[in-house]
A and B are shown apart, each in its own frame.
Chain A
Amino acid sequence: MTRPETASVKGRQAQAERLRAVWDNPSGWRYWTSVNNFQIGLWYGSAAFAFMLFAGVLALLMRMQLALPENNFLSADLFNQAFTLHGTVMMFLFAVPIFEAIAIFLLPPMLGARELPFPRLSAFGFWSFLIGGVFVCGSIFFNAAPSSGWFMYPPLATDKDFSGIGADIWLLGLSFIEIASIAAAIEIIVGVMKCRAPGMRINMMPLFAWYLLIVAGMILFAFPPLIAGDLLFEMQRMFDWPFFDAQRGGDPLLWQHLFWIFGHPEVYIIFLPAIALMAMIVPTFAQRPIVGYSWIVLAAVGTGFLSFGLWVHHMFTTGLPQISLAFFSAASEAVAIPTGVQIFVFIATMLAGKVILSVPMLFGTGGIAIFVIGGLTGVMVALAPFDWQAHDTYFIVAHLHYVLIGGMLFPVIAGIYYYYPLVDARKLSDHLGRLAFWQMFIGFNVAFFPMHLAGLRGMPRRVFTYPADIGWHWLNLISTVGAFIFAAGVLVVVIDVLRPKHHAPRGETNPWNAGTLEWISEPEENWGVRSIPIITSRYPLWDQKNLASEINEGRFYLPDAQEGYRETLVTSVLDAEPLQCLRVGGTSYVTIVSAASLGAVFIALTFHWWITALICGVVTCAAIIYWLWTGTAEIPEKPRKDVGLGLILPLYVSGPSSVGWWAMFITMVGDGTAFASLVFGYFFYWTIHDDFTAGLAGPGSFWPMVALALFLAAWLALLTARTLNDRGQPFAMRLSLMAALFLTAGGSAAGFMGPWSHAMAPTAHIYPAIVWILVIWMLAHAAVGLMMQVYCLARSLTGRLTDEYDMDLRNVVLYWHFLSITAVVTFAVIGLFPLAI
Chain B
Amino acid sequence: MRFVPKQIESLWTLFTAPVVWAVHFLASYLSAAVFCAKQEQLAFGFDMLRLAIATFTSVALAMIVLSAWLAWRQWGFGAHDPPHDDPTGHDRRLFQGFATLLLSGLSFVAVIYVAMPLLFVTECWR
Task: Given A334-B113, A537-B87, check contact A573 B11 (CB 8 Å).
Answer: yes
A490 within 8 A of B: no
Chain B nearest CB, measured from A546 CB (Å)? 17
Judged by a CB distance under 8 angstroms, whether B62 is at the interface is no
Beta-carbon contact of B113 and A687 below 8 Å: no
Instruction: Give chain A residues whose Cβ lies under 8 Å from the Cβ of B89.
Output: 201, 575
- Contacts of B32-58 to chain A: CB distance below 8 A: 32-34, 36-38, 41
Main secondary structure of the interface of B (DSSP, over half): helix
Q: Indicate whether A201 sits within 8 Å of B102 (C-beta atoms), given known contacts A308-B22, A322-B125, A687-B38.
A: no
- Within the complex, the shortest CB–CB distance from A817 to chain B, in Å, comes to 18
What 1/0 mask marks residues of chain B from 7 to 27 whose CB sits below 8 Å from any chain A CB? 001110011001101100100
| Contacting residue for A309 out of B22, B91, B98, B116, CB 8 A | B22
A293 touches B82 (CB 8 A): yes
Contact with A298, one of B22, B103, B117 (Cβ below 8 angstroms): B103
For B38, the closest partner residue in chain A by CB is A687
Q: Which single residue of chain A is at the shortest CB-CB distance from B18?
A: A305
Residues B83 and A331 in contact, CB atoms below 8 Å apart: no
Within 8 A of B (CB), among A504-561: 535-538
Our pick among A199, A309, A690 for the contact of B114 (Cβ within 8 Å) is A309
B110 and A203 contact, CB distance less than 8 A: no
Question: Nearest residue in A to B125 (C-beta to C-beta)?
Answer: A322
Tell me if A301 counts as interface (CB < 8 A to partner B).
yes
Asked if B96 and A326 make an inter-chain contact with CB atoms under 8 angstroms apart, the answer reads: no
Task: Classify the secondary structure of A's interface with B.
Answer: helix
User: Which one of A204, A321, A322, A688 contacts B85 once the chains associate, using CB atoms below 8 Å?
Assistant: A204
Interface residues as binary, A333-376 with B (CB distance below 8 Å gives 1, 0 otherwise): 11001100000000000000000000000000000000000000
- The CA of A292 and the CA of B19, in the complex, are separated in Å by 23
Residue A57 interfacial (CB < 8 Å): no
Interface residue B72 (Cβ < 8 Å from any Cβ of A): no
Q: Are B92 and A574 in contact, CB atoms less than 8 angstroms apart? A: yes
Complexed CA–CA distance, A270 and B29 (Å): 26
A321 contacts which of B82, B120, B126 (Cβ < 8 Å)?
B126
Q: Determine whether B99 belongs to the interface, using a CB cutoff of 8 Å to chain A.
A: yes
Instruction: Give the residues in chain B near A323, CB-CB below 8 Å.
Output: 32, 36, 117-118, 121, 124-125
Closest residue of chain A to B25 (Cβ to Cβ) is A309
Chain B residues near A295: list those with CB within 8 A. 102
The 8 Å CB contact of A327, one of B34, B109, B117, B126, is B117
What interface size band does chain B fall in? 35 or more
Cα–Cα, bound, A319→B34 (Å): 15
Chain B residues positioned under 8 Å from A203 (CB to CB): 84-85, 91-92, 94-96
Residues on A with C-beta less than 8 A from B103 are: 298, 301-302
Are B18 and A301 closer than 8 Å at their CB atoms? yes
A143 to B22 CA separation, bound complex (whole angstroms): 44
B99 to chain A, nearest CB (A): 5
Q: A497 within 8 Å of B by Cβ?
A: no
- Is B28 an interface residue, CB under 8 A from the partner? yes
Question: How far in angstroms is the closest Cβ of chain B from A211?
Answer: 14
Whether A331 lies near B102 (C-beta < 8 A) is no
Query: Which of chain B's residues have a CB closer than 8 A to the CB of A429?
Result: none
Report the separation of the CA atoms of residues A294 and B81 in the bound assembly, to the nearest whole angstrom.
11
- Contact in complex: B113, A326 (CB < 8 Å): no
Q: CB distance A330 to B113 under 8 Å?
A: yes
**Are B114 and A330 touching (Cβ within 8 A)?**
yes
Q: Given A322-B125, A323-B32, A331-B113, decide whether A199 and B102 contact each other with a Cβ distance below 8 A.
A: no
A337 and B114 within 8 A (CB): no
Residues of A within 8 A of B84 (CB): 203, 293-294
Q: Does B106 lie within 8 Å of A293, measured CB to CB? A: no
Q: B70 to nearest A CB, angstroms? A: 16
In the assembled complex, A584 has its CB within 8 A of some CB on chain B:
no
Does the CB pair A322–B18 fall under 8 Å?
A: no
- Nearest CB on A from B101, distance (A): 9
The proximity string for A residues 421-457 relative to B, scoring 1 for CB distances below 8 Å and 0 otherwise, is 0000000000000000000000000000000000000
- Interface presence of A306 (CB below 8 A): yes
By the criterion CB–CB under 8 Å, are B110 and A306 in contact? yes
> Which of B21, B84, B85, B96 has the most C-beta atoms of chain A within 10 angstroms of its own C-beta?
B85
Report the minimal beta-carbon distance from A207 to chain B, rounded to whole angstroms: 12
- Shortest CB distance A781–B (Å): 24
21 CB contacts below 8 A, A to B, read A201-B87, A201-B89, A292-B82, A294-B95, A297-B99, A301-B14, A301-B103, A302-B107, A319-B126, A321-B36, A323-B125, A327-B32, A327-B117, A329-B117, A331-B25, A331-B114, A334-B113, A536-B87, A538-B85, A574-B10, A574-B92
Which 4 pairs across A and B sit closest by C-beta, in order of nearness? A326-B117, A203-B95, A305-B18, A687-B37
Chain A residues engaging chain B, CB cutoff 8 angstroms: 193, 199, 201-204, 289, 292-295, 297-298, 301-302, 304-306, 308-309, 319-324, 326-331, 333-334, 337-338, 535-538, 573-575, 687-688, 690
